[in-house]
């Protein structure tokens, strides 16, 4: 009887220590998860910021300025545009050109 009690006591102690350990471990892992989540959120906003920046670099105002000044381009007019219509299955495109 005495021996059985001793074994049970040890088992209870072991389980208690194990419980503490598991609790500790779970909190550590949770902290890690939380950190990863906030990192994800940070990266998301960073992505958004970069998207806006990219868009800011490609506004019509800037594109037009660069095209005009750096690339010496000019505005397309119907006079210098050929419109091409796609005629589906025949395989051959028919160009409905507008003569310049």
Is residue 74 close enough to count as binding other proteins by CB under 8 A?
Answer: no
Among 12, 43, 67, 98, binds other proteins (CB under 8 A): 98
Report the distance separating Cα 75 and Cα 66, nearest Å: 13
Q: What are phi and psi of 83, to 5 degrees?
A: -90, 130
Is 79 in contact with 100 (CB distance < 8 Å)?
A: yes
Report the distance separating Cα 1 and Cα 6, nearest Å: 9
Is residue 39 close enough to count as binding other proteins by CB under 8 A?
Answer: no
Least distance from C-beta 80 to other proteins, angstroms? 9
Among 1, 3, 7, 45, binds other proteins (CB under 8 A): 45
Neighbour-count burial of 30, counting CB atoms closer than 10 A to its CB (0-12 exposed, 13-18 middle, 19+ buried): exposed
Is 85 in contact with 69 (CB distance < 8 Å)?
A: no
Is residue 96 close enough to count as binding other proteins by CB under 8 A?
Answer: yes
Q: Closer to other proteins at the Cβ: 9 or 98?
A: 98
Q: Which residues sit at the interface with other proteins, rule CB under 8 A?
A: 27, 30-31, 34, 45-46, 48-49, 51-52, 55-56, 59-61, 64, 75-79, 81, 83, 96, 98-100
């Amino acid at each position: 009887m005495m021996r059985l009690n001793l074994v049970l006591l040890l088992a209870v102690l072991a389980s208690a220590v194990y419980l503490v350990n598991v609790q500790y471990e779970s909190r550590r892992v949770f902290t890690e998860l939380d950190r990863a989540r906030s990192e994800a959120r940070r990266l998301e906003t960073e992505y958004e910021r970069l998207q806006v920046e990219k868009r800011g670099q490609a506004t019509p105002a800037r594109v037009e300025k660069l095209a005009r000044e750096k690339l010496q381009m000019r505005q397309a007019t119907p006079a210098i545009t050929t419109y091409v219509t796609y005629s589906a299955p025949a395989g051959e495109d028919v160009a409905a050109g507008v003569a310049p």
